[in-house]
Amino acid sequence: MKRLIIRFSCIIALFAFAMPLGFSQKLRVYLDTKQFYSPTGENYLELYFQYVGYTLNYRGVEGGVQSELAISLRISREDSLIRSDAYRLMSPVMKDSIIDDFFDLRRYSLTPGAYQLQLSLVDMFGDQTPVQAKMSIQVEDYTRGIHLSDIEAVEYAYPDTSQGIFNKSGFTILPRLSTFYPSELSSIPCYFEVYHTNQLKDSVFGLKQSIVSVETNTELEAYTRYSKHTSSEVIRFLRNVDIADVPTGKYALTYTLISKGMADLAVKSYYFERSNDREIAFDFANMLIDPAFQASIHEDSVTYFLESLIPISKPAEIKNIISIIKEKNPEQQRKHIQAFWTKTSPVNPYASWLNYKGQVLLVEKLYSNNFQEGFETDRGRVYLQYGAPTNIIQREVSSTEYPYEIWQYNKIGQFSNRRFIFYNPDLVNNSYRLLHSDMLGELKNPGWPQILSTRNTNKGNIDNPNQNVQQTFGGTSEDFFRQY
């Protein structure tokens, strides 16, 4: 599965992982890809398209209105054309007052390797300006060895023996391209397959289902499930994963194949973001203050250290912290700090608290200014939330750009090579602000080079906010940002 660099005039980020193929005033489309294996011995790729209904043009037909798209698709490898497809797609007939999104799915058999996908889409009832995009795809070899397919999130599924394009394994399965799950959604329906377990010496294998926090790289043990299965060439799973009580955060739904001897055979993950602002209640009435916690917090700094938990807290926890601060009860504040770390790090809460306290004092020294504590600044918050960066590039003086810092992390949880760029448009007070990051859930600003060089750059347009940014002596931020 690959969702990678797509090039066109303007990128609009709606979903965390599903990528927008393009945007014009009248056409917006999203793409996701998943890889599977056929028992006939072929690797195949599924391309899922979600067409945003209100961005297309329609014409009247019997019973409502309908849109039409002309789609051209090319898959190449090392400049050689491997597959091409061109077709017309009609939307479902819609009531003119109820315009919904609609979906399309294409399957292509491909040998393992790296490919380039090129797409061209035309709204036949619009101005017929093509929306074009490119995407890199890596196809794995599922023909030999034990593997897990990609995990396909499901919008809905029902038993169906027809041969429609969304039919798979006796079900009609409509894919879910969004990886964001609000509190209104209490589960993740998903589909995946397991291949070649009949190659095991034993006739059975285990399957572990787990949810791992991307931010802390810790497993939510309450959601871990094990099951035993009989080995076979291909085994298909359609599961409904309960996330009703999963708190706000970024997670990986992970499936691990386990041999009878408890060895890991294959792993696959599906990344999602959860918003679940349920109130978190601590039993303060029956909580005993740990003398170690009490001794580690001076009387005049209890509120400060309680506030310092905000950068690593979920929204519901932040509400609790603010509420407790307003009560101005130091004993209650101490109890909350202890309860927070008992919940966050049950194995050794006191040691975890002391380590975090040291980090808070460090960011206070490095990043505080006249009107913000260190943990309140963007750099302090990122440091406390993700840890120390692997590399930092600092440029306090530039002839063309505001002072800036680029932080690069080799690893943040399950993610590799993530970058943050901070800048100081006020030129005083050590007040650096986050301008752009490629980390999931952080501020994304495609026009950051233009903003960073605002002092000597005219603004671009909505399609290309950086069109007037000139490479000048001293203006090296883009080169530094791309070098990782």
With bands split at pLDDT 50, 70 and 90, how would you rate the model's confidence at 184? confident
User: What average pLDDT does the segment 412-428 reach?
Assistant: 87
Tokens of 194: 């397991």
Report the pLDDT value the prediction gives residue 268, as an integer from 0 to 100: 96
Strand partners for 433:
423
User: What average pLDDT does the segment 455-476 reach?
Assistant: 50
Q: Is the pTM of this model over 0.85?
A: no
Residue 482, pLDDT > 70, answer: no
Chain centroid offset of residue 171 CA: 28
Residue of 70 and 14 predicted with greater confidence: 70
Report which of 278, 272, 262 is spatially closest to residue 211, judged by C-alpha positions: 272
User: What average pLDDT does the segment 465-475 reach?
Assistant: 49
Report the pLDDT value the prediction gives residue 278, as an integer from 0 to 100: 63
CB 29 within 8 A of CB 177: no
With bands split at pLDDT 50, 70 and 90, how would you rate the model's confidence at 481? low
Q: What is the share, in percent, of the chain residues with pLDDT greater than 90?
A: 50
Report the pLDDT value the prediction gives residue 18, as an integer from 0 to 100: 54
The per-residue pLDDT for range 324-350, each reduced to its tens digit, is 999 988 888 988 999 888 888 877 889
Among 50-59, 203-212, 460-469, where is mean pLDDT lowest? Answer: 460-469
Residue of 293 and 92 predicted with greater confidence: 92
Report the pLDDT value the prediction gives residue 36, as an integer from 0 to 100: 95
Residue 465, pLDDT > 80, answer: no
Tokens of 170: 């006796």
* Measured distance CA(246)–CA(296) in Å, rounded: 31
Strand 225-230 and strand 68-77: the pairing is unpaired
**Residue 338 burial (10 A CB sphere; 0-12, 13-18, 19+):** buried
Q: 438-472: b or e for each residue (b if 16 or more CB lie within 10 Å)?
A: ebbebeebebbbbbbbeeebeeeeeeebbeebeee
Q: What is the share, in percent, of the chain residues with pLDDT greater than 70?
A: 86
Residue 461, pLDDT > 50, answer: no
Report the pLDDT value the prediction gives residue 326, as an integer from 0 to 100: 92
Report the pLDDT value the prediction gives residue 168, as an integer from 0 to 100: 85
Report the pLDDT value the prediction gives residue 408, as an integer from 0 to 100: 94
CB 426 within 8 A of CB 370: no
Q: What is the mean pLDDT of the chain?
A: 85
Report the pLDDT value the prediction gives residue 364, as an integer from 0 to 100: 96
Report the pLDDT value the prediction gives residue 205, as an integer from 0 to 100: 95
Chain centroid offset of residue 99 CA: 28
Tokens of 479: 């080169």
Strand partners for 45:
35, 108
Among 11-20, 123-132, 161-170, where is mean pLDDT lowest? Answer: 11-20
The per-residue pLDDT for range 384-401, each reduced to its tens digit, is 999 999 999 999 887 788
CA atoms within 13 A on the CB side of 274: 29
Handedness of CA 159, 162, 163, 164 (dihedral sign): negative
Task: Give the number of other Cβ atoms within 10 Å of residue 16's Cβ.
Answer: 15
* Measured distance CA(49)–CA(34) in Å, rounded: 12
